[in-house]
Amino acid sequence: MMGASGIAEWIKEQIRIKKGKPIPAHVNFFYCFGGISLFLILLQLLSGVFMLFFYTPEPDKALLSIAYLSNEVPMGWLFRNMHRWTSTLLLATVFSHMVIVFYLKAYQSPRKLTWLSGVFQLLMVFLLVITGLILPWDWRSYWSFAIWMDYIGTWVLGGETLQAALLDTFTLNAAYFTHILAIPILLAAFLSFHFKMIRRYGISKPL
Ligand code: HEM
């Protein structure tokens, strides 16, 4: 019979077999913001998939479906609030990650493309927040959409054309599929590249 210490030994043995890359000694709390961002993205995926079962992307039903989710569905309020609060937190952690990586000069060769994929990821996170805000289709959604459209209209190069095209085609349904499908797929593609590069070149050393 194997005693408790024998079991612990056995587990340690198994873990040792699948050796990962060791964490360099200089890595500290400030190197955690990328990982924290990934964790928050996974939380968003979880609460988002839960809400998919209850949300209806139609202008006269969206808000009612969210009221039903928050007030009637068991734990619905929890998942909805998790999704809302985590979106803001995610913006903060991704932004902090970027500032820290900049400060550490980790954007230099050979990590230029890691940085560039990060820029796209930041853009994707922004777009997720903007399209997500539209989905409840309450007054806040209406006005945030109106303000973005006004702003896009001020762009010197093609602003008015883009504004007109979006006002013609960007329905609630379009915002919904952009939010739950198009942007997440793009983000997943960039993230998988981001992580491949990190595995290939390792975490940067302090200069
Ligand atoms: C969706 C958001 C993002 C996630 C989930 C993410 C995730 C990660 C993770 C887990 C790491 C390794 C550990 C670390 O240094 O924190 C990392 C490293 C890195 N990230 Fe990101 N990242 C994101 C956005 C960004 C952005 C916006 C930039 C810059 C514009 C960026 C540039 C980099 C660079 C240059 C490294 C290498 C750092 C080093 O080797 O020290 N990332 N990222």
Residue 120 pLDDT: 98
- Cα-to-centroid distance, 58 and ligand 1 (Å): 36
Residue 181 lies in a domain: yes
Residue at 85 is within a domain: yes
Region 171-193 average pLDDT: 98
Q: Assess if residue 87 is contained within a domain.
A: yes
The predicted structure's pLDDT at residue 21: 79
In a domain, 1, yes or no: no
Length of the chain: 207
44 lines ligand 1 (CB under 6 A): no
* Ligand 1 midpoint to CA 90 (Å): 13
Instruction: With respect to residue 107, please indicate whether it lies within any of the assigned structural domains.
Output: yes
pLDDT value of position 34: 98
Res 87: pLDDT: 98
H/E/C letters for each residue in the chain?
Answer: CCCHHHHHHHHHHHHHHCCCCCCCCCCCHHHHHHHHHHHHHHHHHHHHHHHHCCCCCCCCCHHHHHHHHHHCCCCHHHHHHHHHHHHHHHHHHHHHHHHHHHHCCCCCCCCHHHHHHHHHHHHHHHHHHHHHHHCCCCHHHHHHHHHHHHHHHCCCCCHHHHHHHHHHHCCHHHHHHHHHHHHHHHHHHHHHHHHHHHHHHCCCCCC
Torsion of Cα atoms, 120 then 170 then 137 then 82, to 10°: -20
Å from CA of 6 to ligand 1 middle: 40
Residue 203: φ, ψ to 5° = -75, 140
Assess if residue 207 is contained within a domain: no
Domain count, the chain: 1
pTM here?
Answer: 0.89
**Ligand 1 within 6 A of 90 CB?**
no
Residue 97 Cα, ligand 1 centroid: separation in angstroms?
A: 6
6 CB less than 6 Å from ligand 1? no
pLDDT of the residue at 18: 67
Ligand 1 binding pocket includes 79 (Cβ within 6 Å): no
Our answer on whether the CB atom of 34 is closer than 6 Å to any ligand 1 atom is yes
User: Is 33 a pocket residue for ligand 1 (Cβ < 6 Å)?
Assistant: yes
Average pLDDT over residues 25-49: 96
Q: What is the mean pLDDT of residues 180-195?
A: 98
Name the residue with the closest Cα to ligand 1, atom 17. Answer: 34
Q: How many Å apart are CA 194 and CA 20, to the nearest integer? A: 18
| pLDDT tens readout for residues 98-151 | 999 999 999 999 999 999 999 999 999 999 999 999 999 999 999 999 999 999
Do residues 62 and 135 lie in contact, with contact meaning Cβ atoms separated by under 8 Å?
yes
Residue 102 lies in a domain: yes
Residue 92 has pLDDT above 80, yes or no: yes
Residue 172: give its domain's CATH number.
Answer: 1.20.810.10
Residue 36 pLDDT > 80: yes
Measured from the Cα of 111, ligand 1's closest atom is: 35
Q: Is the pLDDT of residue 170 over 80?
A: yes
Interatomic CA distance for residues 11 and 124, integer angstroms: 40
Q: Is any ligand 1 atom within 6 A of the Cβ of residue 39? A: no
Kindly report which listed range (1-10, 24-33, 67-76, 133-142) carries the lowest average pLDDT score. 1-10
Expressed as residue numbers, the domain containing 125 is 31-201
The minimum-distance atom of ligand 1 relative to the CA of 41 is 5
Query: Average per-residue pLDDT in the chain?
Result: 95
**What does the pLDDT read at residue 1?**
67
Q: What percent of the chain has pLDDT over 70?
A: 98
Give a yes or no: residue 155 inside a domain: yes
**Residue whose C-alpha is closest to residue 54's, from 41, 37, 40, 71:** 71
